[in-house]
A and B are shown apart, each in its own frame.
Chain A
Amino acid sequence: DIVMTQSPDSLAVSLGERATINCKSSQSVLYSSNNKNYLAWYQQKLGQPPKLLIYWASTRESGVPDRFSGSGSGTDFTLSISSLQAEDVAVYYCQQYFGTPQSFGQGTKVEIK
């Protein structure tokens, strides 16, 4: 099974500042035949289901603000929020869909400093 590990577990960032969340997979999720990373990011606000933000590690879902960006390849990935807004307070999860079972990171809680 592929284990996803996020860091940090939580972070507090001032409004307008950058937030960076890391995600590491226990094995590569890069498929060599199509050069795609099978990695997604989700945002979960309190009392709500997760919402897809990014897939293929860096493709933003339609309607997601461009302050959200994803990067990385192979085993190391990053979700960045360029200028944190109050509505971005949430728990963020990475997820790999390279192997079965699909697996999620443990989540990173983002708060306002």
Chain B
Amino acid sequence: QLQLQESGPGLVKPSETLSLTCTVSGGSISDSNYYWGWIRQAPGKGLEWIGSIFYTGSTYYNPSLKSRVTISVDTSKEQFSLKLSSVTAADTAVYYCATILRFCSGGECEVGWFDPWGQGTLVTVSS
């Protein structure tokens, strides 16, 4: 059963780069049935998809964050990572990593729902 765990600094200074890592266990990050994604939730707010990656390194970003986001994968470590540059207080949130089902038909592949999720990690942007 897949399990995901986020790790990284809980405090980042304004204008710096937020860096988080998600470690996958109970399965392989190279499983072609899945994408791997990041979602965030500002305090008391809703959920925002940040971006996703396939084990080959193909990435998909939310246009609203695309200029500041980089997601990468390290298959040897069963990890994928998030970097968000030039952060401000508005980037303070709980950051979740999650598995995204990938389903293919007729040579085309699509994304599905998020399951499972990591427990989340709170990142505060403050000087």
Whether A93 contacts B47 by the Cβ 8 Å rule is yes
Q: How far is the CA of A10 from the CA of B123 in the complex (A)?
A: 27
Which of A42, A102, A105 is the one whose CB lies under 8 Å from B49? A102
| Beta-carbon nearest neighbor of A34 in chain B | B105
Chain B interface, >50% SS class: strand
Contact yes or no, B46 A104, CB < 8 A: yes
A contacts with B, residue count (CB < 8 A): 22
What are the residues of chain B within 8 A of A97 when measuring CB–CB? Answer: 110-113
A52 touches B114 (CB 8 A): yes
* Other-chain residue from A42, A49, A55, A93 in contact with B120 (beta carbon distance below 8 A): A49
Docked complex Cα distance between A103 and B39 (Å): 10
Q: Does A100 contact B (CB under 8 A)?
A: yes
Contact B113 A104 (CB under 8 A): no
Q: Give every chain A residue within 8 A of B120 (Cβ-Cβ).
A: 49
**A2 smallest CB distance to B (angstroms):** 12
Contact for A101 among B46, B63, B114, B119, CB less than 8 A: B63
Query: How many B residues touch A, CB cutoff 8 Å?
Result: 22
User: B96 contacts the other chain (Cβ, under 8 Å)?
Assistant: yes
State A40–B49 Cα separation when bound (angstroms). 14
CA separation between A95 and B41, bound complex, in Å? Answer: 14
A residues in contact with B112, CB < 8 Å: 40, 55, 97
Q: Mark B107-118, 1 if CB is under 8 A from A, else 0.
A: 000111111111
Given contacts A49-B98, A97-B113, A107-B47, 16 further A-B contacts (CB under 8 A): A40-B114, A50-B47, A50-B96, A50-B114, A50-B117, A51-B117, A52-B116, A55-B113, A95-B47, A97-B110, A102-B49, A102-B111, A103-B49, A104-B47, A104-B48, A105-B46
Show the binding face of A for B, using Cβ within 8 Å: 1, 34, 40, 42, 48-52, 55, 61, 93, 95, 97, 100-107
